[in-house]
A and B are shown apart, each in its own frame.
Chain A
């Protein structure tokens, strides 16, 4: 086996790694909420008036979530999917 794959992984720019990691944090949070509520991606699609295929596209890791989309998802699910450390520490007090 050549080192091509290893080198390609090594050469991923840090900003791209962080963006993808954030994407997956959001995806995993959405999945966790859906699972807890006994909902499917199709249910989420219906709530948001979208096709299931569009929700599937969000869950791949490369989708560029806008704040507008995140707000719409939060509204549909009835709870936050992202928050800030500042809000978290305020909530703890």
Chain B
């Protein structure tokens, strides 16, 4: 009976959106600390999955290098200036992704010193919601940033000296145990 309930909940979690994981430091650079989301039980962070998939890619390798070069330039020399992240629709909840060509890496700017990196994919339509390769990563980033903003508001998450302090574990969406 308990096994059946576990199986039911597992299948339900697959159908509804449930994200269980935590923010981890991906790389600390002189001007920006980059965090990434790591699903519970996963070996790689979402950004590492993106790197594994697109580094040295026959079609998108060049775009991948451009995106990493932007991350590097901001991290080493410029900081996460708000002007670099201003959305096409000003004031939108989610900043624009890092992009080159049709390749997208979804991110969220926490502050001038902290950026949350996620995963991404190849955009094949005007809206990311309509691009199968982008949609799950866009949705995760969206849900994650909403929860981060909520925690900042509730003061359970803050920044000290360019590092996030507080609860970095997340269970987002309709999660069933």
Q: How many residues of B contact A (CB 8 A)?
A: 38
**How many angstroms from the CA of A2 to the CA of B88 in the assembled complex?**
34
A27 CB within 8 Å of chain B: yes
For window 1-18 of chain A, which residues contact chain B by CB distance below 8 Å? 1-2, 4-6, 8-9, 11-13, 16-17
Q: Evaluate contact between A9 and B71: CB separation under 8 angstroms.
A: yes
- Chain A residues with CB below 8 A from B87, complex form: 56
Residue of B nearest to A30 (CB): B83
Encoded as 1 (CB less than 8 Å from any B CB) or 0, chain A from 57 to 93 comes to 1011110000000000000000000000000000000
- Chain A residues with CB below 8 A from B34, complex form: 5
A-B pairs, 9 with minimum CB distance:
A53-B88, A61-B70, A20-B69, A62-B100, A4-B48, A16-B65, A16-B69, A4-B51, A62-B66
New A-B pairs, 9, CB < 8 Å, besides A9-B71, A61-B73, A62-B100: A1-B26, A2-B44, A2-B48, A16-B65, A16-B69, A17-B73, A20-B72, A27-B84, A57-B88
Q: Evaluate contact between B73 and A24: CB separation under 8 angstroms.
A: yes
Q: Which residues of A contact B (CB under 8 A)?
A: 1-2, 4-6, 8-9, 11-13, 16-17, 19-21, 24, 27-28, 31, 41-42, 52-53, 56-57, 59-62
Between B34, B66, B69, the greatest number of chain A beta carbons within 10 A of the residue's beta carbon is seen for B69
- Chain B residues with CB below 8 A from A13, complex form: 65
Name 12 interchain pairs, CB-CB below 8 A, sorted by A. Answer: A1-B45, A2-B48, A5-B47, A11-B55, A13-B65, A20-B69, A42-B90, A60-B99, A61-B74, A61-B98, A62-B67, A62-B70
Q: Evaluate contact between B86 and A41: CB separation under 8 angstroms.
A: yes
**How many angstroms from the CA of A77 to the CA of B86 in the assembled complex?**
20
Q: Which of B24, B47, B73 contacts A20 (CB 8 A)?
A: B73
B130 CB within 8 Å of chain A: no
Once A9-B71, A52-B90 are accepted as A-B contacts, the answer to whether A28 and B96 lie under 8 Å apart by CB is no
B143 CB within 8 Å of chain A: no
- Chain B residues with CB below 8 A from A60, complex form: 70, 84, 96, 98-99
B20 CB within 8 Å of chain A: no
**How many angstroms from the CA of A12 to the CA of B96 in the assembled complex?**
22
Between A8, A17, A20, A42, the greatest number of chain B beta carbons within 10 A of the residue's beta carbon is seen for A8
B164 CB within 8 Å of chain A: no
Q: Evaluate contact between B83 and A31: CB separation under 8 angstroms.
A: yes
- Chain B residues with CB below 8 A from A20, complex form: 66, 69-70, 72-73
